Amino acid sequence: MLDSQGDQQQVYAAHLDTDEQQLQVLKLSQAVDDTAWATARTGALVTSDSTDNTIVVVTGPLFRGCPTSVTPAGANNAPAQPGPNYLGRINLNTGMVSSVPTTGDSLKPGGLIFLGASGFGHDDQ
């Protein structure tokens, strides 16, 4: 998967290097940057907060197989004074990006990765 942040799209590739290779474009309701998939209901999303120069760990019940993205104001038509980044969940059928509620300190995420109990990207059942 590749984000086309400015175009508000994600491009998905399947069956690479085969005769059945396919590309599909998902039009999003807003621009997104990094995207991570939880491979288990437990684990954490790890993100950077460049405004505070910190690493933030987001825990709680996660939606296995559901993409979670950092949503910046990075669209080609973004306003001059965009709002801050936040975590968003992407509906793979409609492209709708909806806010993921978080508690604690204000979160302004940058990069994003899923960390399961066994390590980065592992399926923890």
Cross-sheet strand order for the sheet of 9-14: 2-4, 9-14, 22-27
CA–CA gap between residue 43 and residue 60 (Å, rounded): 8
For 58-92, the pLDDT digits (tens) are 887 777 888 888 776 666 776 676 666 778 889 99
Residues in Cβ contact with 77 at an 8 Å cutoff, skipping those fewer than 6 apart: none
Q: For the chain, what percent of residues have pLDDT higher than 90?
A: 20
For 96-118, the pLDDT digits (tens) are 998 888 777 667 777 888 888 76
For residue 3, pLDDT over 70 is answered with yes
Phi/psi at 6 (5° precision): -65, -30
For 28-41, the pLDDT digits (tens) are 998 888 888 888 87
Alpha carbon 91 to its chain centroid, in Å, reads 11
Query: How is residue 25 written in tokens?
Result: 């474009």
Residue 25 pairs in a beta bridge with 11
